[in-house]
Amino acid sequence: MSRLYDSRKRILVTGGAGFIGSHLVDRLLGEGHEVLCVDNLFTGTKRNIEHLHDNPRFEFMRHDVTFPLYVEVDEIYNLACPASPVHYQHDPVQTTKTSVHGAINVLGLAKRLGCKVLQASTSEVYGDPEVHPQVEGYWGHVNPVGPRSCYDEGKRCAETLFFDYHRQHGVEIKVARIFNTYGPRMHHADGRVVSNFLVQALRGEDITLFGDGRQTRSFCYVDDLVEGLVSLMATGPEVTGPVNLGNPHEFTMRELAERVIALTGSGAEMSERPLPLDDPRQRRPDITLARDLLDWTPRVELAEGLAETMHYMKRRLAELDEVTRT
């Protein structure tokens, strides 16, 4: 008992009521830590953390990270920011402020406390890449004035701030570049391809393919991603990142649609729509660095992860239908 107490940390997770954040909170609590979950519930939801409210080591604070946060913690995971195009384009100014002001505030807190801070960055920093697969040393091909720029450039600026605080103030930082992640607790209407395809197939609707469906993505199951984040945080001060975290197995959107149709038993057809502006043509991480530094590689195959996500989406759609009927 004393050994567990000595190793227990009080850990702040911003964006902790979100899709990835809530799974990270579960993992940290499962390791015996105390967790302070901070979220303004713009895209996060209390539903994702309602099973934790009786846990004496869990605390929830409704707060917007664009404002300073005055708490005492041992580590910080900064996951606060809408991550799907539908959500981050809804209020692009606020999205940029969340990335930039949020980074300044968590870094200022980490500086004051002398603690580690991990930034959940994104593969979107690579933009529509001209290097494939993407390695951490690639600077990216990003449109700074397009509809996705609030997220892409916001996250790029956040990385800049993390490294400047590290160089100027000695803050111990970790930067993870997260590639497409999926799994239970995804928002059913977040506009991301896995949730879109599953919801459309389960509702018996045609599956929407943007463009010709030959653009690619690599899909990492949420449990694997959380393992990568925790492993990165556990490294020593010499490891700052950025480190790619994602699944290197690449699929076209048409292949994903075919898998979803087969999995759900849907008779859905595929309906092509114009490709959105600045939508990347291909996306696949080079995870050599994560393998070497963290001994990390994804383990959950797409078939297994899609099945788990489908079961969640079925339950969620049934809940929504019940609400509609009442």
- The answer to whether 10 and 58 are in contact (CB under 8 A) is no
In whole angstroms, what is the distance from residue 114 CA to residue 223 CA? Answer: 29
Cα distances (Å, whole numbers) of residue 11 to 15, 74, 239, 322: 13, 6, 20, 37
Q: If you compute the radius of gyration of the chain from its CA atoms, what whole number of angstroms results? A: 19
Residue type at 283 in one-letter notation: R
Q: Positive or negative CA dihedral for 313, 316, 318, 323?
A: negative
> What is the token pair recorded at 166?
């590290």
Containing H/E element for 319? helix 302-325
Q: Angle of helix 193-202 relative to helix 253-264, nearest 10 degrees? A: 30
Among 266, 262, 246, 260, which Cα is nearest to 306's? 260
Query: How, if at all, do strands 216-218 and 250-252 pair?
Result: antiparallel
Of 77, 126, 151, 182, the active-site residue reads 151
- 70 given a catalytic annotation: no
- The answer to whether 243 and 136 are in contact (CB under 8 A) is yes
- The answer to whether 53 and 35 are in contact (CB under 8 A) is no
Q: Which residues are catalytic?
A: 151
